[in-house]
Amino acid sequence: MITISACMIVKNEEKVISRCLESLKGIVDEIIIIDTGSNDSTKELAKLYTEKIYDFKWVDDFSAARNYSFSKAAMDYIYVADADEVIDEDNRKKFLDLKKALLPEIEIVQMLYSNQLAFNTTYNFDTEYRPKLYKRIRHFTWVDPIHESVALQPVIYDSDITIIHLPEDNHAGRDFKTFQSVIKRGEKISEKLLNLYARELFIAGTESDFLEAETYFEEQAEENLPYESLKVIHCVLTKCGRLRKNDSQMFKYSLKNMAGGKPSAEICYEVGEYFFEKGDYKEAIIWYYNAAYETECDLNIHYSGDYPLLRLSECYAKLEMNEQTVSYKELADAWLPS
């Protein structure tokens, strides 16, 4: 049977940490807590479950903190836990079964991460696979009888274990602060992180969050990036243009997005918002309809679902077309993300 180190990075998690650690008790062999500056009772509560508690100076870098937590682990595998997660009794049993039967060649185990949409997370699915269990020491192996090479792709197993996400609130404010800190340090943001920044803006960003991000996204719009990354940049800058009532900017980036052949639902929705604010409800209807039925979202599934459907109802109400008003309101109320 394998052994497991649970590694966590925490800060001011007194409301949820006991619940998480209680659900880990009995299925992991050691718990590593990396505290990044708590000023509440987080560490005192953690001491009821482990002595392995370490302080780490926060440097606006989650990877640095995760790497430090991994450096303290001593078991065969490392389970990455967050304080606002819970493993219920059914999934604890599945976890123990996995622990007993896991084949040694498996290097990463993915688990289902659930209950995401209730908290405006950066993901568009309520349940999805995430890598959660990692083999601590990986041995590289040569493969192929000729033209041999080292096998670099990890061996991944998709388990049926479900981790329940139960945060007290979303972490958008913290995340936006971290994004801006990285930018101000002059560090390069990867394409993956750029896409996540845009996604989180459209899911949980305030007007000020968009406008604070605007300069960076303008710079990235001039880079030689793949079309899919440029599309999300166009979405952010189109919305910033509308918020600033800068028509030239709004249409510049919305047209760039459309010119690529696969317009984003977010763009159509923002153009609809522009005409809605102008009181041109007939024109707004065209764009909201395109968002709901003719395009796909790139950042937030609601922009091709209930958001434009509700706006269509509001437009028809302004035009005193009662049948359509009721119909689209019912569609918006009944909409569920697939």
Buried b (16+ CB within 10 A) or exposed e, 68-107: bbbebbebbbbbbbbbbbbbeeebbebbeebbeebeeebb
- Residue 123: the pLDDT is 57
pLDDT at 170 over 80: no
Q: Which amino acid is at 328?
A: Y
Quote the DSSP letter at residue 92: H
Label residue 124 by pLDDT band (50, 70, 90). Answer: low
Share of the chain above pLDDT 70, in %: 95
- Residue 338: the pLDDT is 63
Label residue 121 by pLDDT band (50, 70, 90). Answer: low
Q: Which amino acid is at 168?
A: E
- Residue 128: the pLDDT is 86
Distance CA 316, CA 309 (A): 11
Q: What tens digit of pLDDT does each residue of 283-302 get?
A: 999 999 999 999 999 999 99
Label residue 90 by pLDDT band (50, 70, 90). Answer: very high
Q: What is the mean pLDDT of residues 143-167?
A: 90
Q: What is the mean pLDDT of residues 68-97?
A: 96
Q: Where are the domains of the chain?
A: 4-165, 263-338
Distance CA 250, CA 270 (A): 9
**Torsional sign, CA 66, 71, 72, 74:** positive
- Residue 76: the pLDDT is 97
Q: What tens digit of pLDDT does each residue of 217-260 get?
A: 999 999 999 999 999 999 999 999 999 999 999 999 999 999 98
> Is residue 285 within 8 Å of residue 308, measured between CB atoms?
no
With respect to CATH, is domain 263-338 assigned 3.40.190.10?
no
Distance CA 108, CA 154 (A): 7
Q: What is the DSSP string of 248-281?
A: HHHHHHHHHHHHTSS-BHHHHHHHHHHHHHHT-H
pLDDT at 117 over 70: no
Q: What is the mean pLDDT of residues 97-126?
A: 80
- Lowest-pLDDT range of 117-121, 172-176, 200-204: 117-121
Q: What is the mean pLDDT of residues 190-216?
A: 93
> Is residue 210 within 8 Å of residue 270, measured between CB atoms?
no
Which two structure tokens, joined as six digits, stand for 22? 């209680």
Which two structure tokens, joined as six digits, stand for 149? 């090479």
> Is residue 31 within 8 Å of residue 8, measured between CB atoms?
yes
pLDDT at 333 over 90: yes
pLDDT at 109 over 90: yes
* This model's pTM is above 0.85: no
pLDDT at 314 over 70: yes
Backbone dihedral region of 12: left (phi > 0), alpha (psi from -120 to 50 degrees) or beta? left
Share of the chain above pLDDT 90, in %: 79
- Residue 165: the pLDDT is 87
CATH of domain 4-165: 3.90.550.10
> Is residue 28 within 8 Å of residue 5, measured between CB atoms?
yes
- Whole-number average pLDDT of the chain: 93
